[in-house]
Amino acid sequence: MFRKLLSTGAMVFAITGMALNAQAQTVKLAVTDLVGLEELQREFGPFKAELERTSGLSIDFLPVTSRTAALEALRFKKVDFVLAGPAEYVVMHKRANATVVAGLYRPNYYSMIVVKADSPLFSLQELKGKRVGMGPVGSTSRQLGPMQLFADANVDPRKDISVTNTNLRLAWEGLKRDDLSAVGMGRSDYENFIGQEPEDQRNAFRTLARGGDLPSDLLMAGEHVPAETVASLRKAIVENSATLISSISQGPEQVKRYQGMRFLTAIADKDYNAVRSMYRTAGYPEFSDFIGE
C-alpha cells in the first residue's frame, strides 16, 4: 500500500512538474511600431502562429503604446521578446541589456532625399534655408537617416534647413504642391508613393541623395530570459526560416516591407554604430532616450 501511494505521489508530482514546465514555456512578444492587440494580430498573427509551431513556445502578444513603454516592459520583465528597428536597438541595448535573437535583414532598406524632377536643386547643400519634410521623429529611415545624409554633406539638419516632421503622405503631397523643397524617407515609402501616382507622373520625381543600407530590424530578448530559451528560439528561426519569412512578408501593407528579407544571426553591436552617429546628429549622444518621447 505504501509503495502504491509512493507511486501515485510520484505520478502526481511528475504531472504537476510537466504542467509547470509547460507554463514556463509561455512567453510574451511586443512589436514597437504597432499599437493595440487587434493591429498586432492582423499584422503579425501569422508570424506568431508559425513561430509557435516551429519553436514549441506559446507566445502571447503584449501591446505597447510607445517605444518607451516597450523598453520599460522589457526592463521590468513584463515582456520577454521585442521586435524593433535599429533606432530602438541602440537604446534597448544600453538601458535593458537586451540580447539579439536574430536580425531581420531587409534588402535595399535605406534613406533617401527626394525632390521633384523639375527642381532646380541638385545637391543637399542647395537645400540650405529650404523646407524639408521628414517622417515621424525617431524613425530610423524616415527621420534619423535623412538627417544623417545632410550631416554627411556638411549641412547641419538642425540649423541649416527647416525640417517639418509629419506623416509622410502629407509630406509627399506637400512636395507635389511645392510647399516643401524635398522630402526625406525610406526607399519602401518612395516605392509606395510612386506606385500610387498616375502612370504619367511616376517620372515626376528624382532622388537627390541616398544612404547606404541600414542595419537590420531585430528580435531581442530581455535580460531575464534564460539563455537556453534564446538559443532554442534562434535555432527554430534558423531551421525554419523559409516558412517564417513567408508568414511575415505576406501580411498587410505594414509588414510588406519585409518582402525579400532573410534572418541573420551573426549580428554584432558595432553594426549599429551608424545609428549611434544618427543619434549624435539629432542631439542625443547618450543613446539613453528615444527621440521624440
C-alpha cell at 58: 506559446
Residues 122-167: tens digit of each pLDDT: 999 999 999 999 999 999 999 999 999 999 999 999 999 999 999 9
pLDDT at 186: 96
pLDDT at 284: 94
What rounded mean pLDDT belongs to the chain? 90
DSSP 289: S
DSSP per-residue string spanning 151-207: HHTT--TTTTSEEEE--HHHHHHHHHTTS-SEEEEEHHHHHHHHHHS-GGGTTSEEE
Residues 194-247: tens digit of each pLDDT: 999 999 999 999 999 999 999 999 999 999 999 999 999 999 999 999 999 999
Is there a shared CATH topology between the 2-106+215-281 domain and the 111-210 domain? Answer: yes
Model confidence at 47, pLDDT cuts 50, 70, 90, reads: very high
Model confidence at 258, pLDDT cuts 50, 70, 90, reads: confident
Model confidence at 257, pLDDT cuts 50, 70, 90, reads: confident
* Dihedral (CA of 109, 104, 275, 284) sign: positive
DSSP 36: S
- On the question of pLDDT at 12 being above 50, the answer is no
pLDDT at 274: 96
CB 287 within 8 A of CB 98: no
Alpha-carbon 143 to chain mean position? 14
pLDDT at 254: 59
When pLDDT is averaged across residues 68-90 and rounded to a whole number, the result is: 96
Q: What share of the chain has pLDDT > 70, as a percent? A: 90
Per CATH, the homologous superfamily of domain 2-106+215-281 is: Periplasmic binding protein-like II (3.40.190.10)
Residues 222-233: tens digit of each pLDDT: 999 999 999 999
- On the question of pLDDT at 22 being above 70, the answer is no
Give the domain 111-210 fold.
Answer: D-Maltodextrin-Binding Protein; domain 2 (3.40.190)
Alpha-carbon 187 to chain mean position? 15
Bridge partner residues of 220 (DSSP): 82, 100
Q: What share of the chain has pLDDT > 90, as a percent? A: 81
d(CA 204, CA 196): 13
C-alpha cell at 158: 538642425
pTM of the model: 0.85
Spell out the domain ranges in the chain.
2-106+215-281, 111-210
